[in-house]
Structure 1
Amino acid sequence: MELLIGLDIGTTALKVACFDKKGTLLAVSTQEYDLITPQTNYVEEEPEVYWKAFLDGINDLKSQYPISKTDKIALAMSAQGETLLFLDKAGKSLRNAIVWMDNRAEEEARELEGKFGNDTCYKVTGQVSFEPCWPASKILWVKKNEPQIFQKTDKFLLIEDYFIYRLTGKFATEPSLVCSSTYWDIINRKYWQEMLDYLEIREEQLAPVVESGNVIGKILPEVTEELGLGEDITICTGALDQAAGAIGAGNIREGMFSETIGAALAVCVPVSRPVFDPAGKMPLFCFPLEGMYMIHTFTNGGMTQRWFRDKFCNVEMMAEEMGCGNAYDMISKQVEKVPAGCDGLVMLPHLSGSMAPDSNAKAKGVYFGFTLQHTKAHFMRAIYESLGYILKRNIDSLANMGIYVKEIRSLGGGSKSKIWNQIKADINQVTLETVKSVEAASLGAAILAGKATGIFDSIENAVDSMVEVKDRTEPCPENKEVYEAGYQMYQKLFKDLTECFELTR
C-alpha cells in the first residue's frame, strides 16, 4: 500500500500524520516538549528531544494504524523556520539548537544592519530588516560569544535540514525554509555570498537547496530499524510550516489568505511574482509551487495562549487531567460570556518580541485598561482579540500593496475554537473558513511527498481533490464599531510604548 507521512516539526510539539493517497487521515500523533529558556531572550532545545519526539510519534502512529513493512511510504516535512543547529564533521550536534523565538542576537542584528542596511536586506533576502531571530544573526552571535563552537561547526542546519540528514545521511534544504536565514538571495535563488563572507562561513557549510516536493533519497537502514518500519521509505523536501499549512488548507492561488495560530500566529498570501511592500513592512518568501512566492509574516500566537493556560488556569488543567475535557475548550466557554471589546481591556501579546508588520525584538506583553470589573475570562478573551488585531494589521498592510483579502482560511489549534473564529471574522469583517483536515500542515507536507514520488501529477490537482471546507464563519456587522475602537487602541499602545520597550532588556 502507498502511504504518505507528513511530519510537522513545531515549536513546542511534533506531529506525525499518516494519510492514504486520497488524503484520508489514517492516524496522527502529537508529542509535546518543553523549551529551554535559561534567561530573557534565550530559547533553546536539545536536538535529541526533537528526534525522540519523532521516534515516539512513529511508535504511537503504529499503535493506531497497522503500517506494514511492505508498505511504500513517502515522507516530507513541515518545519518551523529559523531554528538553527550546529553539527561537527561527524554529524554530531555541538550545542543546543537555537530556536526561532530566540532574540539574544540583538547586537549582531544591529551590526548586520550597519554593514548592509535594511533596504539591501529586503531587496536581496525578502526580509524587511535584520532581526535577532534570523540565522545569520545567530551565527554571528555564536562566532563572537562561543568561538570554539563556531570553529568546530562543519554544518549550520535548519530543523528540516537536520531531519533530512538524520533520515538519509544527505544534506538538503529548500527555498521556503531558507528565505528567512538572511543569507539567501530570494530573486537569484542562491546563497548571498557577501553575507557568507561577512559571517566567515562557506557555502559548503550550508545545505544545498533543492526545490520543495523533490526526492532526496531513501531512508537509512539503521533508521528503519530504529523506527521498526520497512525499507521502502522515500524522504522528500517539504516546506516551511506555514507554506505547508497553506497547501493543506487549499491556499495555493492568488487572492487567498490563510492564517495559523499555533505556537506562532502566521499569515500566508501566495503571489505569482515577487511583490515588495513599498512601506518595507511585509516580508517576501518563496512558495512551494514552482514560480510562486508568498507574503508571509508571523509573531507569537498560541504561545501566548499556552502561557496563560500554564500560569493561570490550574483548575482547567486539573480538570483535563481528570478526564473532564480539554482545558482550552473550558477557557473558550468562559471567553464566550465576555462581550466583544472585553469591556475596554486590550492586550499586546508580544511575549517574545513582535514581527512584521510591526517588527520590534524588544516588544513585550501588555494588558491595558483593566478595572475591578474584569475577570480571568476577560484576560483570556483579550488574548484572542489581540491576535485578531494582528491579523487586521497584516490585512491592512496587504491592501496598501494592492493585495485584497476576500476570505480567510484558518488552520492550526486556534481554528478549533468557534468563538476565536468569530472574533477574527468580526474584527476583519470578512468570511472565515476552516477545512476538514485539522492537520493542514502535515497534509501539505504529505501532498509534497506525493508530488515528489509521482503519486500526484501536480500539487494543484492534489489540493483540489483532497482539501474540503468544513465551516464558514460570517462576520457580525454589529461588532464592527467596538472592534474598530479596540484596534485603534491596540495600534496606539504599540506605538506609544515603543520608547518603553527600548528601556527593557
Structure 2
Amino acid sequence: MSNIVDSADGYLMGIDFGTESVRVAIFDIKGTPVTFAATPYKTTHPRGGWAEQDPEEWLRCLEASSLKALSNAGISPASILGISFDATTMTVCALDSNGLSLRPAIMWMDVRATAQAARAADSDSVAKLYNGAGTAPSSPEWYPFKAAWLKENEPETYNKAFRLVDAPDWITYQLTGEWTVNINSAAHRMYYNRDKGGWPTDFYETIGCGDVFDKLPDRVVDLGEVVGTLTTRAATLLGLRPGIPVAQGPADAWAGQIGLGVVSPGKMALITGSSHVLTGQSAEPIHGKGFFGSYTDGVVKGQYTVEGGQVSTGSVLKWFKDNFARDLSHAAERMGLNVYDVLNEQSKNIPIGSDGLIINEYFQGNRTPYTDGKARGIMWGLSLAHGADHIYHAIQESVCYGNAHNLRAMAAQGFEAQEIVACGGSTKSRAWMQMHADVAGVPITLTEVGDAVVLGSCMLAAVGAGVYETIQDAAHNMVHVRDTIEPNAEAHEEYQFYVDQYCESYPALTELTHTVVDHEAAK
C-alpha cells in the first residue's frame, strides 16, 4: 500500500558517483525520467595496480552536474522532494574532522593491498565469518585490507584521519554533515553482520587494523532511511533549497538492483556490461560454495542478499570484435550499422552448442563460482568445420553458461531464482537475452528504464521523502515492466548437456592454467 505525499508535481534527485563521472538524474514520483547530466573526472595511476581520484574534484563535478540537470529539467528547485545517491564501493576516503581529504581516495579497482588480503586468506579468517561454508573473498579491493595498507604504508595519514570511510559515506557527510556508515558497504564489503553482533573486531585485528573502528562512525544506516537534511552549504552547491531529506544510498550495483525492482525473494537482478553482476534477495541466511553472501540487511532490512558474477562477458565479445572482425566493423560503421547486430545476424543459424565448440569466458579470471584470479579462458572442440561465426556464437553461449553455473551454485543451497530482471548492454540484443533465458530456464524481464542505477537512487529518495513507505512500495510504483522473455523448454533441455561440459572444463584444467599463469608472471 503506497503512501504518496500530497504533491503531484514533485520530483526526486538521484546522484550517481561512478568510476568515470558523477551523474545527476531527476525522476518524477512514478519513475519517469526527466533529465540526466554527467560531468567526468580523472583517475590517476601512481603505480601499477593503483588507482586514485580527488574527492575535491568530485564536489566540483557534482555541482556542475546538478546545476545542469536542474537547468535541463526546467523545474523549480523547490519541487525536489528528496535526494539519495550511490557510489563506487570500496573507494576509501581518509578525511579530517571537517570532511576534507587528507590524500586522494583509493579507488575500488586499486589492488595495492594484496599482502594484507593474503593474510586473511592464509589464516582462513574470512571463511570463519561465513561459518566456513561460503565463498569468502579476501580481495585487496575491499575496505579492511586498504585500511591495513594505509596504516602500514602511510602511518602519518592514517593516524591523522578522523574518518576513514567508503565513498557513499563521504557523500552522506558532504550533503548532510552527518557521519554514518551505510549498511550496504558494511554488510557487502566490510564483513559487518548484524546477525552476529555487527563488526568482526577480531578479524580486523588479524589483518592489522583493529583500531580502525575509532575512525568509523558508530551509526550504521539502512537503505532509504533519512540520514539527515540537505545543509545550507550543500544546497548552495547543488542549486537546491536547504532542508530536503537525504536518504541513505548504496553502492552503485545495488542501486541497480533496486532500480530493477529486485527487492523481494525469488527475483534476481542481472546487471550486464563488460561484466555480469547477479544479485538477489533471500528470506533466510544462506551460505555455500560458489557465491558471495548472504549479506544481512544489505539491500532490504530483514532480508539477505546473495551475489555472483562474471568478470568477463561483454568484454570477451569486444575482444572478438576488435581482433577478428575489424574489417566487418569498418564496413558496418560506413553503412551506419552496429557491428554486433551484423555479427548476430551472421551467426543466428549456428545450432545450440555451436557444433561442439565450447568456450570458457574466464579471460580476466573468475569471480564466482571459483573466485580465482588465475583463471583464464578456454576454447575446445574446434574442428576445421568451425568458422568465425561459430566462435562468436560460442562466446555468447559461454556467457550464458557462466550465468547458469552461478545460478546452479545458489540453487544447490536452496536459492531458486524464479525470475531474472536484466539491464545493461547485453539487453540490446533480444536474441542474446533469449539465449540467457533458454540456458538458465528462467524468464528474463526487461524494464522501461534501462538506467536502473540512477532510478534506484531516486527510489530511495522517494522512500526517504515519504513518497512511499517502503523500498518494495517504491518498486511497485516506479519500476515498470517493458517485456518478458520466456525460456524455450526444448532449447533449455538441449542446452543442459553443454552447460555440464562447460562446468567440468575449468576444474579439469585448473592446475595447468595456474602453472602457465605463474610461469608467465615470473618472466
Pairwise same-fold verdict (TM > 0.5):
yes
CA contact (8 A) 2:278 2:309 kept: yes
The corresponding residue for 2:214 is 204
1:66 CA drift (Å): 1.0
CA contact (8 A) 1:165 1:171 kept: yes
The corresponding residue for 1:501 is 514
The corresponding residue for 1:71 is 79
CA distance in 2, matches of 1:184, 1:442: 26
The corresponding residue for 1:170 is 178
CA contact (8 A) 1:12 1:263 kept: no
Go from structure 1 to structure 2 and tell me whether the alpha carbon gap of 1:263 and 1:448 turns closer, same or farther (over 3 Å shift): farther
Aligned amino acid, residue 214 of structure 2: E
1:434 CA drift (Å): 1.0
The corresponding residue for 2:233 is 222
CA distance in 2, matches of 1:376, 1:12: 34
Q: Does 1:109 align with 2:117?
A: yes
Go from structure 1 to structure 2 and tell me whether the alpha carbon gap of 1:99 and 1:392 turns closer, same or farther (over 3 Å shift): farther
1:122 CA drift (Å): 1.5
1:254 CA drift (Å): 1.8
Gaps of 5+ in 2: 1-8
TM-score normalised according to structure 2 size: 0.83
Aligned amino acid, residue 420 of structure 2: I
Deviation per CA, 1:314-342, whole angstroms, max 9, x where unpaired? 77988999994667666655665655444
TM-score normalised according to structure 1 size: 0.85
What does residue range 315-334 of structure 1 map to in structure 2 within 5 Å? 324=336
The corresponding residue for 1:464 is 476
CA contact (8 A) 1:425 1:431 kept: yes
Aligned amino acid, residue 468 of structure 2: F
CA distance in 2, matches of 1:168, 1:467: 28
The corresponding residue for 1:121 is 129
The corresponding residue for 1:248 is 259
Gaps of 5+ in 1: none
CA contact (8 A) 2:317 2:392 kept: no
What does residue range 348-359 of structure 1 map to in structure 2 within 5 Å? 348-350=360-362, 352-359=364-371
CA distance in 2, matches of 1:314, 1:58: 40
CA distance in 2, matches of 1:152, 1:447: 37
Q: Does 1:442 align with 2:450?
A: no
1:10 CA drift (Å): 3.4
CA distance in 1, matches of 2:11, 2:238: 16
Go from structure 1 to structure 2 and tell me whether the alpha carbon gap of 1:54 and 1:302 turns closer, same or farther (over 3 Å shift): farther
CA contact (8 A) 1:81 1:180 kept: no
The corresponding residue for 2:198 is 190
CA contact (8 A) 2:127 2:135 kept: no
Go from structure 1 to structure 2 and tell me whether the alpha carbon gap of 1:119 and 1:333 turns closer, same or farther (over 3 Å shift): same
Aligned amino acid, residue 467 of structure 1: V
1:215 CA drift (Å): 1.4
Instruction: Tell me which moved more, 231-240 or 466-475.
Output: 231-240
CA contact (8 A) 2:265 2:283 kept: yes
1:149 CA drift (Å): 4.0
Go from structure 1 to structure 2 and tell me whether the alpha carbon gap of 1:329 and 1:190 turns closer, same or farther (over 3 Å shift): farther
Go from structure 1 to structure 2 and tell me whether the alpha carbon gap of 1:130 and 1:491 turns closer, same or farther (over 3 Å shift): same
Larger Rg over CA atoms: 2
Q: Does 1:87 align with 2:99?
A: no
The corresponding residue for 1:296 is 307
CA contact (8 A) 1:407 1:430 kept: yes
What does residue range 298-447 of structure 1 map to in structure 2 within 5 Å? 298-301=309-312, 304=315, 308=319, 312=323, 324=336, 336=348, 340-342=352-354, 344-350=356-362, 352-365=364-377, 381-447=393-459
1:17 CA drift (Å): 2.2
Instruction: Tell me which moved more, 256-265 or 208-217.
Output: 256-265
Deviation per CA, 1:252-307, whole angstroms, max 9, x where unpaired? 22222221114542112211232222x47442123432211111223425672596
